[in-house]
Chains A and B, each alone.
Chain A
Amino acid sequence: MKRLLLLCLLPLVLTGCAGAPDAGDLLPILTAGVSMDADGGLELTTEAVRQEELEGTASSTYLTARGDSPDDLFAQADALTANSLYFSHARTFIIDESLARAGLRPLVGSLLDRGDVRLTLRLAVARDAEADDLVRAEAVAAQLPGEALGDLLDLRAEQGDLPDLPLSAAADALLAGADFSLPALTLTDDGRVLPDGQADFRLGRLAGFSGGDTHA
């Protein structure tokens, strides 16, 4: 009997969840965008979602961090709040045109190094717009902007209108030195985010844009 009691108590003592983060400790990110300024400094804008009450609705909060390199950028972003930024629910990662032209390899490497980034994360390139503005753009429907954008990209990729290249496939192409294309996103005059052709990459750098309704 004593042995059984000890056996029952042992797992309780050994429970590792005491140090593990609780769901309430996390700040889920839906969309993130990276821009690069003229000096090569990076700026990360994230759309974090938060629901204050069980009966309430979720709302977006935008956080901005600066860094010299992608690794530094994510470290600075993680230090912004007491809650950990949680990229597992992020659906879209928008890259500024200037950063895309400088090369994706360091950024993709940093994303892959993070344990919470899904390999299904969609990468997109900002076309004639700032990544920061695209992340902050309002959704038309009564939806979280990040969710609306993710749904839109999923739908277009399913219909074959956009390149269907998640993070895993983009990383493979980068490592293989192959050419690939990512969806291009632009901001309309009324402040909506719309897919606008595709960004073509050669040797890991943005070579140019092709297609797109607004550039036909």
Chain B
Amino acid sequence: MEILQFTTDLDENVARLKALFAQDKTFIVRRLRAPEGLRCAVFFFDGMIDNQAINQSIVRPLLRAGLKSASAEALAESVLQINECRVETDLHAMLTALLYGDTVVLTEGDSRPIVLNSKGFDVRAGDEPDNERVLRGPREGFTESFMTNLSMLRRRVNDPRLTFTFSRYAAHTHTAVCLCWIKGVTDPALVREMQKRLDALTLDGILDANYIAECIRDDGGSPFPTLGTTERPDVAVARMLEGRVAIVVDGTPVVLTAPCILQECFQANDDYYISVRQAALARVLRVAGFLLSITIPGLYIALLHFHQELLPTRLLLAIAAARTGMPLPPFWEIFLLLIVFEVLKEAGARTPGVMGSTMSIVGGLVLGQSAVSARFLSAPAVIIVAVAAVTALTVPKLQSAGMVLRFLLLAAGAAAGLYGLTLGLALTLGHLCTLRSAGTPYLLNLAPRVETHDEDVYTRAPWRRMRRRRFLARKEGGAS
């Protein structure tokens, strides 16, 4: 940012600020001269401020102050009628505030600007996020508004120990980032570690939480998420209550949480809002669905090429009948179908609602049916890929990992049958064992089973039996 210096000459200061934003037509300068002689200038950006607040709480009081002249402190303390008002000596901070919707007031005879909170830009309502819908439970979701997001957290945790640490990162966007945690619950070492990682950011711009996530997460090459994300304030708070930190980034509804462990990928928001038995069943289905989605293509190829003896006679006959006259070997059938599925998924995600559903029907149903009828593809291959596709949706947080593993295990199964598949799964498990998230083992509570807190791992315990401080939480008042 350009170096700016103010003097006690108001005209000079106005000229300097105008020169700084000469190309910006949204930059507004309002000069004021009170009947008694007080001269001020009000600076703000059109569209980012609350006009009513400026008119009623800044302009009107200044014109009616009845002063010949006044220092910045005097104006801030006695004249300006706005809730947040400060004399700012750091011009860099003043410019950042101005660019973020605050109003700056300069007065004749004082080089120090007054910064007033007059933000008034439009924000989206906190609707329920599409990718984290629940059948029962809170419907509120984070928005792109930084302060609104923080207020959602504060509203849920009425405890002075809820701590927010603010910083701004990125050379050009100066994006506000807030590290949130609960004192006494979160390990201070974790807070220091995350703050250290944030401070090491060297980005030019941050437009979404993922910019930060990719920079601060552990083992960036792993397909498994080592940093949690959520768009729901209730989830963010629940994770903080378990000893995690939350990172709120301005301009995005996505809040990061750390550490992230494997078990939370299989947890859904609904688990905590519905009955224990229903939640337990749903969680088991999610685990089974994920395992099925990554192994079934590889298992099909392994059985078809190397272990036909494991198929029941009738099933073998049916598959053989379906495969008669097929131009492609089973491996390439499955491989190409998986690619087509990924393409359809990508196209569906980028297509507007109505067209998206039309494309799903055309792409998934019509194309699949036609390919089988025309004997380009065998029906079992379509069924296998459809099962893999549907079961993959049960664990949205592991979609990326699921996709990578599906292809790798398919290749492993095709290379060495069930032995290859087993080796692939063993290597995956080995990789999971080496993963850590912000110093926490990724398989915490799963392996190694040391100090296991398993009330919320495989199934959820009823709330009355749930431990107060769960797996990540440090002992109250004690060391971590």
The interface of chain A, by Cβ under 8 A from chain B, is 4, 8, 11-12, 14-18, 20-24, 26, 28, 30, 49-54, 56, 58, 86, 88-89, 116, 118, 147
Contacts and interface: CB of A to CB of B under 8 A. Distances in A.
Given A11-B408, A23-B316, A54-B379, A89 B414 contact: no
Nearest to A30: B313
Interface stretch (B62-70, B131-139, B319-327, B387-395): B319-327
> Which secondary structure dominates where chain B touches chain A?
helix
A183 B412 CA distance: 44
B316 A89 contact: yes
- By Cβ-Cβ distance, the 5 closest A-B pairs, closest first, are A11-B411, A24-B323, A88-B309, A51-B321, A15-B414
Contact of B331 (A15, A51, A53): A15
Contact of A22 (B311, B323, B404, B416): B323
Given A52-B324, A54-B318, A23 B308 contact: yes
Interface stretch (B237-245, B252-260, B299-307): B299-307
A8 B317 CA distance: 33
B308 A88 contact: yes
A16 B414 contact: yes
Interface residues of B, number: 33
B281 to A, nearest CB: 34
A23 B415 contact: no
B381 to A, nearest CB: 12
B324 A11 contact: no
16 contacts: A11-B408, A11-B411, A14-B415, A16-B414, A17-B329, A17-B415, A20-B305, A23-B304, A24-B323, A26-B316, A28-B316, A28-B320, A49-B313, A51-B318, A54-B318, A89-B309
Given A4-B221, A22-B305, A86-B308, A16 B416 contact: yes
B407 interface: yes
Interface string B263-305: 0000000000000000000000000000000000000010011
Contacts of A23: 304, 308, 311, 316, 319-320, 323, 330
B426 to A, nearest CB: 15
A28 B317 CA distance: 8
Contacts of B415: 11, 14-17
B317 to A, nearest CB: 4
B314 interface: yes
A50 B320 CA distance: 8
A26 B320 contact: yes
B330 A147 contact: no
A175 B154 CA distance: 80
Contacts of B308: 21, 23, 26, 86, 88
A21 B305 contact: yes
B412 A56 contact: no
Interface in B311-351: 311, 313-314, 316-324, 326, 329-331, 335
A20 B319 contact: no
A172 B273 CA distance: 61
Contacts of B221: 4
Most A Cβ at <10 Å: residue of B301, B304, B412: B304
A8 B412 CA distance: 11
A52 B322 CA distance: 8
A165 B158 CA distance: 75
A54 B321 contact: yes
Nearest to B319: A23
Given A17-B331, A18-B329, A118 B309 contact: yes
Contacts of A18: 329, 331
B424 to A, nearest CB: 9
Nearest to B413: A17
A24 B319 CA distance: 7
Given A8-B408, A54-B318, A24 B414 contact: no
Contacts of A14: 411, 415
Contacts of A147: 313
Contacts of A50: 317, 320
Interface string B113-154: 000000000000000000000000000000000000000000
B411 A24 contact: no
Nearest to A116: B309
Nearest to B326: A24
Contacts of B322: 54
B314 A58 contact: yes
Nearest to A24: B323
A52 B326 CA distance: 13
A56 to B, nearest CB: 7
B317 A53 contact: no
Given A17-B331, A26-B308, A51 B320 contact: yes
A11 B412 CA distance: 7
A17 B316 contact: no
B304 A8 contact: no
A28 B306 contact: no
Most B Cβ at <10 Å: residue of A18, A26, A49, A51: A51
A52 B321 CA distance: 5
B422 to A, nearest CB: 14
Contacts of B411: 11-12, 14-15
Contact of B313 (A11, A12, A28): A28
A17 B324 contact: no
A24 B317 CA distance: 8
Contacts of A22: 304-305, 323, 329-330
A26 B319 CA distance: 11
Interface in B151-184: none
Nearest to A20: B305
Nearest to B411: A11
